[in-house]
Amino acid sequence: MESDKALLRKYLPETAVEEVYRAIVEKNIQLRITRTRSSKLGDYRPALNRKPHRISLNHDLNPFEFLITFIHELAHLFAFESYGRRHQPHGQEWKQFFQQLMLPYLNAGIFPADVENELKLHLYDSNAANGSDLNLKRVLQNYDKKKASLGTLVENLNEKSYFKTRDGRIFQKLELRRKRIKCICMNDSRLYLFSPLALVEPLTGFEPNQFLHLLKKMG
Ligand SMILES: [Zn+2]
């Protein structure tokens, strides 16, 4: 369908449209663009009970992230076709397809150099603990126009500084703990672990005493 291709043009790097479209037709994939889901970027549901393969992708991914996420989900499809449920979701079987399916898009001038470098490290990294996943996300965020204008990454704030989250709560940044950043919420005095890549609004010149006083007054 031409409308599918038009849809892809809206979300993908132009040079990747034909190749992705071919995969969609070949595997008869039902593609769905969804609202923002903070828990995931996309997902795959297998062709069972007479339904086609289904891939969903969040609407607010930048073009490079959109492409990588599509290939990630497409690798789930291939792994499902070959192994059914008898494989680990992100294990060796899936990973081989992910690498293979990504190949036509590498060294093809589709990705900016920084993304391509991190993507290659990510593809061939056998150990998730190396942080290649986080590094890839970090470099992808450079191309995320909407999100970039929305705030600052928690990892870029100074320790002990204050910031506000989208829901209006105020936090103080404490120390890094493994790959998470410990923060204390000024509203309920509880500790929270933030992703280093969470986007927040820095509060400069924030006076915690004043804030606590105000909270007490409000009951
Ligand atoms: Zn997955």
Instruction: Dump pLDDT digits (tens) for 44-78.
Output: 999 999 999 999 999 999 999 999 999 999 999 99
Q: How far, in Å, from the CA of 72 to the mean position of ligand 1?
A: 6
Cβ 24 vs Cβ 44: under 8 Å: no
Give the pLDDT confidence of 108-129 residue by residue, as tens digits.
999 999 999 999 999 987 665 5
Query: Taking 70 as the threshold, does the pLDDT of residue 215 lie above it?
Result: no
Relative to beta strand 53-58, strand 29-34 is parallel
Cβ atoms within 10 Å of 91's Cβ, excluding its own: 11
Same domain, 210 and 184: yes
| pLDDT number for residue 125 | 77
- Which of 92, 113, 148 is the endpoint of a domain? 148
| pLDDT number for residue 152 | 87
Q: How far, in Å, from the CA of 100 to the mean position of ligand 1?
A: 15
- Boundaries of domain holding 206: 151-218
How many domains are contained in the chain?
A: 2
Q: How far, in Å, from the CA of 102 to the mean position of ligand 1?
A: 14
Taking the C-alpha atoms of residue 29 and residue 44, their distance in angstroms, rounded to an integer, is 10
Q: How far, in Å, from the CA of 63 to the mean position of ligand 1?
A: 18
The dihedral sign for the CA sequence 14, 32, 100, 89? positive
Same domain, 49 and 156: no
| pLDDT number for residue 216 | 61
Q: How far, in Å, from the CA of 182 to the mean position of ligand 1?
A: 27
Same domain, 140 and 183: no
Instruction: Please compute the mean of the pLDDT values over residues 74-94 and round it to a whole number.
Output: 94
| pLDDT number for residue 129 | 56
Task: Look up the CATH number of the domain holding residue 170.
Answer: 2.30.30
| pLDDT number for residue 133 | 82
Same domain, 96 and 160: no
Q: How far, in Å, from the CA of 173 to the mean position of ligand 1?
A: 31
Taking the C-alpha atoms of residue 6 and residue 216, their distance in angstroms, rounded to an integer, is 55
Do you know the residue count of the chain? 219
Same domain, 165 and 194: yes
Query: Taking 70 as the threshold, does the pLDDT of residue 213 lie above it?
Result: no
Same domain, 142 and 170: no
Q: How far, in Å, from the CA of 116 to the mean position of ligand 1?
A: 20
- Which of 99, 129, 148 is the endpoint of a domain? 148
Same domain, 21 and 116: yes
Q: How confident is the model at residue 199 (pLDDT cuts 50, 70, 90)?
A: confident
| pLDDT number for residue 134 | 85
Same domain, 137 and 72: yes
Displacement of CA 120 from its chain's centroid (Å): 17
Q: How far, in Å, from the CA of 117 to the mean position of ligand 1?
A: 21
